[in-house]
Amino acid sequence: MSPAAEPFVGATSSTPVRHHILSVLVENKAGALSRIAGLFARRGFNIYSLAVAPAERHQRFSRVTIVVDAESAPLEQIVGQLEKLVNVVAISDLAPRNALERELLIATIQVNVNNRRTLLNDIESLGASIVDVDAFGLTVMLAGTPGACDELERRLDNYDEVEIHRTGRVALPRLGPRLVD
Amino acid sequence: MELTGAQALIKSLEQEGVETVFGLPGGAILPVYDPLIDSTIRHILVRHEQGAGHMAEGYALATGRAGVAIVTSGPGATNIVTPIANAHMDSTPLVVITGQVPTGSIGSDAFQECDITGITSGITKHNFLVKSAGELPRAIAAAFHLATTGRPGPVLVDVPKDVSQSKMEWWWPSSIEDLDLPGYHPEVELDEDAIAAAIALIETAQRPVLYVGGGTLKSRASKELLAFAERTNMPVVTTLMARGAFPDSHPQHLGMPGMHGFYTAVTAMQKSDLLISLGARFDDRVTGRLDGFALDAKVIHVDIDRAEFNKVRRADVALHGQVAAIISALDAGLEKTSHYEPWWRQLRDWQASYPLAYDEPVADGPLRPQAVVEAIAQRAEPGTIVAAGVGQHQMWAAQHWRYEEPGTWINSGGAGTMGFGVPAAIGAKVGRPDRTVWAIDGDGCFQMTAQELVTARSEGIPIKVAILNNAYLGMVRQWQEMFYDERYSEVYLSPDLPDYVKWAEAMGCVGLRATNLDEMKRVIDEANSINDVPVVIDFRTDATEKVFPMVPSGETNDAIMVHPSQRGGAS
């Protein structure tokens, strides 16, 4: 499934049952991302989330963090096919237990001044903070584990007018060797 | 030296040793066609871009070198998508150069614009959109490197018109590093532990089969295969993509496996206790229903593409690398060999009971298509190249011709592209002008790409085309007869509309026809005596002939159906 069509499956239904995190270093070339997305679509591999940004210190490369559904296809197949993309330079497969996963959630909640105390109680214990305020509502953010983001999203379900954006997760191995030096 | 992008592109092709390109010009590629006039490269002007692609494939399969095609943007590019997909399925090295609208117009729905790199990203090994003239040498060199190394495949280079018109200072990449492919590492180190594990499996096997796929040809491993097979006395099967990798005349060769494979080849795999897969990919046409395929067999899977391991069938030992190098390593490490005498007794028994069979020819026609293939083969000089389209005639050509060396069988395997035969034969003849090239075609296939015989005549490429004319889309007709209660839906074509002899003559070829056995022999001899122009023979064949053996779709290989004359006993 292409990320454009179904990007947030994992975000609304909590963490997929058997997911794996692929940290993929790709050349910063036109079409590189669409090659990855196209590969997942045509081979029937499911993506739960996908995050892309320039890789540290390497202007030539971007890092794509893909949370894959390891039940839609064997991980070996997914990695093997990804490796064949000429623009893919390195793939690191992070099992969830060995990975440090983080995600950013921002949400705007339309809430009148009288009800804000309840909202603050709901979000502060999760480590979320307020980044914008006006008379009609406020915007909060949480940079945390996917589980914490799921929990925040669940709590925000109690409010009527909420707009939530999540980035999809990024991950690094726990105190392991670096991907690229 | 200052060159235009177009000049640099042509010079890059010359640097790669390209002698022949197949193509058709148009607006966006116009600048590239100008320096072609001054080049040593031979350009073959096709009548349809699909023809250029299949010719380049035929050239590649006959020579082992990359085939090259040049077409324009938009419809020129989309017309060559089928050959690209075909080459991708069959791992054929191809470099396709497409014109593109000027960089400033990309994305504006300009005249003859299409996103060909987007369209072909899933059916090429890689593709490039070249953004400046200075990048052209690297893109072309990288395209050839990618197309021909590792698991070969098609690579497309999209060249906007302003890029080919602008100036650049000529340079040429002097090393692999210059190609700037940080994610591409085709060279593989042999895994000694895996080799040892494979040898342990081989040394305990009782019923091994060497399952030879197209990768054996791509890896040029025929010599190593022959030595290894003879030393171990193992039986050999060659898939549709590997015909010619091991001599058909060799007593250890059981023939082709698969849906229309030889009974003994199919059944040997099915009853084997060790399949040694050499550059094969457990295609569904070989395995039949997977949960009933070769249930007792352990698998040693040799492939240059790691993604093939465990994709279809779990490998007990996966050996990553070039087939040739791995066969040599197995040969070097193997100490104990066996003659597999009980296994061979069983195999010989099957061969005696179920040889290839077809109905007796009748003197006054209609012709048996299998007999036509055999008659052409008997009258062909050694080394003759055969190209086929897709369907019944392809299976008969794969079954009834004896392939003795690599590069003599050219067909569309994975994609099953009707119309492949005539242009592929033309490309093969261009690559191997010293060889006789026969296209064995069906009437349905012939009608798809026959116009390239105009190309063949005008460029002086004297191929021979045998149309097994049964007036039907024969393979579909066979399925409708066998599996759809003889309800024939949209498969009838007519034997004489078009008139193939007149059509051949209109295209500047010699047109011949045979309706009975005497005429069959006479026209084949006549075709063999003509070496200056293409020859087309309309063989009127029996429409009710079916390809046997056959494993019905969705069934296991145990359900193989032999020729009706052989039924009653086993099977």
Hey, are the CB atoms on A77 and B182 less than 8 Å from each other? no
* Contact assessment for residue B405 and residue B391, using Cβ atoms and an 8 Å cutoff: no
Domain termination residue (choose one: B320, B353, B386): B353
Whether residues B247 and B343 fall in one domain: yes
Whether residues B205 and B344 fall in one domain: yes
Whether residues A21 and A85 fall in one domain: yes
Is there a domain that residue B34 lies in?
yes
pLDDT of residue A17: 65
Query: Domain with B243 in it: what CATH number?
Result: 3.40.50.1220
A30 and chain B in contact, CB less than 8 A: yes
A91 and chain B in contact, CB less than 8 A: no
**Of A169, A173, A14, A147, nearest to A93 (Cα)?**
A173
Whether residues A107 and A95 fall in one domain: no
Q: Which residue of B has its CA nearest to A38?
A: B122
Whether residues B283 and B408 fall in one domain: no
Domain termination residue (choose one: A65, A81, A99): A99
Hey, are the CB atoms on B306 and A80 less than 8 Å from each other? yes
Domain that holds residue B56: 2-179
Is there a domain that residue B568 lies in?
no
* Contact assessment for residue B56 and residue B153, using Cβ atoms and an 8 Å cutoff: no
Max intra-chain CA distance, chain B: 77
pLDDT of residue A176: 58
Q: What is the DSSP letter of B35?
A: H
Distances (CA, A) of B533 to A177, B508, B510, B538: 66, 8, 7, 16
SS3 (DSSP) at B94:
strand
B126 to chain A: which residues are within 8 Å by CB? 86-87
B143 to chain A: which residues are within 8 Å by CB? none
Q: How far is CA A80 from the centre of its chain?
A: 22
Q: How far is CA B208 from the centre of its chain?
A: 27
Query: Domain with A77 in it: what CATH number?
Result: 3.30.70.260
**Of B85, B103, B107, nearest to B94 (Cα)?**
B85
Whether residues A41 and A118 fall in one domain: no
* Contact assessment for residue B340 and residue B207, using Cβ atoms and an 8 Å cutoff: yes
Is there a domain that residue B550 lies in?
no
Whether residues B311 and B414 fall in one domain: no
Is there a domain that residue B558 lies in?
no
Residues of chain A with pLDDT under 70: 1-17, 176-181
Per-residue pLDDT of chain B (571 residues; tens, 9 = 90+): 999 999 999 999 999 999 999 999 999 999 999 999 999 999 999 999 999 999 999 999 999 999 999 999 999 999 999 999 999 999 999 999 999 999 999 999 999 999 999 999 999 999 999 999 999 999 999 999 999 999 999 999 999 999 999 999 999 999 999 999 999 999 999 999 999 999 999 999 999 999 999 999 999 999 999 999 999 999 999 999 999 999 999 999 999 999 999 999 999 999 999 999 999 999 999 999 999 999 999 999 999 999 999 999 999 999 999 999 999 999 999 998 899 999 999 999 999 999 999 998 888 879 999 999 999 999 999 999 999 999 999 999 999 999 999 999 999 999 999 999 999 999 999 999 999 999 999 999 999 999 999 999 999 999 999 999 999 999 999 999 999 999 999 999 999 999 999 999 999 999 999 999 999 999 999 999 999 999 999 999 999 999 999 999 999 999 999 999 999 754 4
Is there a domain that residue B567 lies in?
no
Question: What is the spatial distance between Cα B215 and Cα B278, in angstroms, rounded to a whole number?
Answer: 7
Question: What is the spatial distance between Cα A157 and Cα B524, in angstroms, rounded to a whole number?
Answer: 80
Is there a domain that residue A59 lies in?
yes
Is there a domain that residue A175 lies in?
no
A87 to chain B: which residues are within 8 Å by CB? 126, 183
Across the interface, of B184, B306, B309, the residue whose CB is closest to A86 is B184
User: For strand B464-469 and strand B535-540, is the pairing parallel, antiparallel, or unpaired?
Assistant: parallel
Is there a domain that residue B60 lies in?
yes
CA–CA min distance B480, chain A (Å): 30
Hey, are the CB atoms on B307 and A81 less than 8 Å from each other? yes
Whether residues B78 and B196 fall in one domain: no
Whether residues B231 and B132 fall in one domain: no
SS3 (DSSP) at B93:
coil
Whether residues A107 and A85 fall in one domain: no
Active-site annotation of B, residues: 49, 111-112, 161, 475
Which of B116, B121, B123, B144 to probe the A interface (max A CBs under 10 A)?
B121
Whether residues B294 and B199 fall in one domain: yes
* Contact assessment for residue A48 and residue A10, using Cβ atoms and an 8 Å cutoff: yes
Question: What is the spatial distance between Cα B426 and Cα A157, in angstroms, rounded to a whole number?
Answer: 67
Whether residues B304 and B386 fall in one domain: no
Whether residues B387 and B485 fall in one domain: yes
Element (H, E) at B162: helix B161-165
Domain termination residue (choose one: B285, B319, B353): B353
Whether residues A109 and A93 fall in one domain: no
Whether residues A71 and A107 fall in one domain: no
Whether residues A37 and A104 fall in one domain: no
Q: Which residue has the tokens 């009127």?
A: B540
Is there a domain that residue A180 lies in?
no
pLDDT of residue A55: 87
Q: Tally C-beta pairs within 8 A across A and B.
A: 46
Assigned token pair, A89:
């330079």
Is there a domain that residue B373 lies in?
yes
Query: Domain with B58 in it: what CATH number?
Result: 3.40.50.970
A73 and chain B in contact, CB less than 8 A: no
| Strands across the sheet containing B274-278 | B253-255, B236-238, B208-212, B274-278, B298-303, B317-320
Is there a domain that residue A177 lies in?
no
Whether residues A108 and A61 fall in one domain: no
Element (H, E) at B466: strand B464-469
SS3 (DSSP) at B467:
strand
Whether residues A91 and A125 fall in one domain: no
Q: DSSP characters for B134-158?
A: GGHHHHHHHHHHHHHSSS--EEEEE
Domain termination residue (choose one: A99, A133, A153): A99
- Each residue of B468-478: pLDDT tens digit? 999 999 999 99
Distances (CA, A) of B475 to B121, B395, B478, B549: 31, 10, 5, 13
pLDDT of residue A22: 95
Domain count, chain A: 2
Whether residues B328 and B210 fall in one domain: yes
A30 to chain B: which residues are within 8 Å by CB? 129
A175 and chain B in contact, CB less than 8 A: no
Give every CB contact of residue B156 below 8 A, 6+ residues apart in sequence. Answer: B84, B95, B96, B97, B98, B116, B117, B120, B124, B127, B128, B143
Domain that holds residue A21: 9-99
Whether residues A15 and A93 fall in one domain: yes
Is there a domain that residue B187 lies in?
no
Whether residues A13 and A63 fall in one domain: yes
Q: Which residue of A has its CA nearest to B184?
A: A86
Domain termination residue (choose one: A65, A99, A133): A99
Whether residues B83 and B106 fall in one domain: yes
Domain count, chain B: 3
Whether residues B322 and B220 fall in one domain: yes
Query: Domain with A108 in it: what CATH number?
Result: 3.30.70.1150
- Each residue of B36-60: pLDDT tens digit? 999 999 999 999 999 999 999 999 9
Give every CB contact of residue B87 below 8 A, 6+ residues apart in sequence. Answer: B53, B57, B60, B93, B94, B153, B154
Whether residues A143 and A86 fall in one domain: no
Q: DSSP characters for B389-458?
A: -SSHHHHHHHHHSPP-STTSEE---SS--TT-HHHHHHHHHHH-TTS-EEEEEEHHHHHHHTTHHHHHHH
Question: What is the spatial distance between Cα A80 and Cα A74, in angstroms, rounded to a whole number?
Answer: 10
A38 and chain B in contact, CB less than 8 A: yes
Which of A29, A60, A85, A86 to probe the B interface (max B CBs under 10 A)?
A86
